[in-house]
Structure 1
Amino acid sequence: MSAGKAVGLLVLTSLLAACGTSPPRSPNDLCAIFREKDDWYDAAKVTQKRWGVPIEVPFAIMYQESGFRHDARTPRKYLLWIIPWGRVSTASGYAQAKDEVWNDYRKSTGRSGADREDFDDAIDFVGWYMDKTYTINGVYKYDAYGQYLNYHEGWGGYRQRTYAGKPWLLPVAGKVQARSQMYARQYAGCKDDLGRGWWSRFWRWL
C-alpha cells in the first residue's frame, strides 16, 4: 500500500470513529437521533426489554447529564484558584455515572468490561439504575421527574428529600420530564418506520 493510500485510510478511519462518538446533530428530535445513529436505537430497544423502561426516559436523562457527549466530565477544581486539583466529582461519560455506582452496576450485572464512554453500556446503566429506583423507592419508570431526582441525588438522598434543599434542581427535573414527554410523542410518530429496518429507512431518507 502506498503512503498516500495509507494516510487516506487513516483519515477515513478517524472520521468514522469521530462520527460514531460525536453527539447527534439533532438532539431535540428522538426520531432524527435514531435515523442518524441506528446502533443507538438498537441499544435503546435492548435496554427497554432488559429493564422494562420506556425508551424516552433514559434519553432525556442522558441529554441532561452529558448532552450525549461520550467524554463529558465534571468541571475541574483548582487549588488557590490556579492549580488544577482534580474534578468536582468522578462522574463521566454519556450517563455521568460516578465511580462508586458504576462499579456497583458492573458487579451487579456481571458486565466487568463496561465502559462509560460506550453508548450501549451507558444506556444499559441508566436502565439498570431506573429499575433499581423502582425497586428501592417505588418510582414509576415512566415518571421522568422522580427518576431524575433519584438519579441526581441517589436512592438514599431521594428518601431523605435532599432535593428539597436545592431549589435549582426541581426545575431541572421538570426539564427532564418535559423532554421525556417530547421524545415520547416523537417516537410514537416514527416507531413503525424505524421498525421496518435500516434498508427501508435508507430509501425513505433519499
Structure 2
Amino acid sequence: MRFANAGTAEVPVRSLLFVLFAAVLASCATAPPKNPSDVCSIFFEKEDWYASARKAQRRWGIPVPIQMAIINQESSFIEDARPPRYRLLGILPLWRRSSAYGYGQVKDETWDWYRTKTGNRSADRDEFEDVVDFIGWYAHQSYKSLGISKSDAYNQYLAYHEGHGGFRRKSYLSKPWLMRVARRVETTAARYRRQLLTCQPSLERLLASD
C-alpha cells in the first residue's frame, strides 16, 4: 500500500510539472500586437518590427504597408499560426490541411526555396525579420517573372497565395472568395500607408536614437 500511494501521488505532480512547462513555453511566444488595424500602434508596440520591415523594403522594394497587410491577412500576426486540421466525424483531429506555418503562412517547399536561393539557411517562419524578408523576396520574384508591380498589393497577394504558376494560369478567377480577400489586403495596405505617413518621422527618430 505504501508504494501504491506513492505512485498515485506522482500523477498530480507530473501533471503540474507539465502545466508549468507549457506555461513557460507559452510565455516565451511573441504575443500578437494589441491593435492590428493600426500600423503605427503595431510598430510602437513591437519596437524592432519597423526596422525589420524597412530593411526588407530597402532590400527588395516592396513597401512596408504591403508587407504588413499580407502578414495581417495570413496569420493576424500570430507567430506560430497553422492551418486547421481535418477532423474525423467532425471530432477527432487528423492531419493539417497544408504545411503552411508562421507569420506568413509559408509552406515547407516554398520556404526551402527561399532559404536556398538567398543563402539564409537559418531563417525561421516564426521570426518576424525573416518573414518580412521572405515576403520582399517573393514579391521581387513575382515582379521579375510575372511583371507585377511591387506596389500592387492586390496582384502581389494573388501571386503570393496561388504561386507563380497558379497566377499565370489565372487560377484565382475560379475563386471569387480569394479575389475578395486580395481586395481586403489592398484596402488594409492603403490604410496602413496613410497611417504610416503620420508616424514614420517618429519611428525614424527612434531608430536613429538606438
What TM-score, normalized by structure 2, do the two folds share?
0.84
Once structures 1 and 2 are overlaid, which stretch shifts more, 82-91 or 34-43?
Answer: 82-91
1:143 alignment partner in structure 2: 152
| Aligned mate of 2:51, from 14, 29, 42 | 42
Deviation at 1:136, TM superposition (A): 0.8
The sequence identity of aligned pairs, in percent, is 48
Deviation at 1:199, TM superposition (A): 8.8
Say what the alpha-carbon RMSD is for the aligned residues.
2.1
1:184 alignment partner in structure 2: 193
- 5+ residue gaps, structure 2, are 1-23
After TM superposition, the structure 1 = structure 2 runs for residues 57-96 of structure 1, keeping only pairs within 5 Å, are 57-96=66-105
- The alpha-carbon distance between structure 1 residues 85 and 16, as it changes in their structure 2 partners (threshold 3 A), is closer
1:112 alignment partner in structure 2: 121
> Contact between 2:81 and 2:102, CA under 8 Å: does it hold in 1?
yes
Matched, 1:55 2:25: no
- The alpha-carbon distance between structure 1 residues 52 and 198, as it changes in their structure 2 partners (threshold 3 A), is closer
- The alpha-carbon distance between structure 1 residues 198 and 136, as it changes in their structure 2 partners (threshold 3 A), is closer
1:127 alignment partner in structure 2: 136
Deviation at 1:14, TM superposition (A): 7.3
- 5+ residue gaps, structure 1, are 1-12, 202-206
> Contact between 2:159 and 2:167, CA under 8 Å: does it hold in 1?
yes
In 1, the alpha carbon distance for the partners of 2:95 and 2:36 equals 30
Structure 1, residues 44-72: CA drift from partner, whole Å, max 9, x if none?
11101111111100100000000000010
Moved over 6 A (4+): 13-16
| Aligned mate of 1:26, from 15, 29, 35 | 35
State the aligned residue count.
Answer: 188
> Contact between 2:51 and 2:207, CA under 8 Å: does it hold in 1?
no
In 1, the alpha carbon distance for the partners of 2:92 and 2:129 equals 36
Larger radius of gyration: 2
In 2, the alpha carbon distance for the partners of 1:182 and 1:188 equals 10
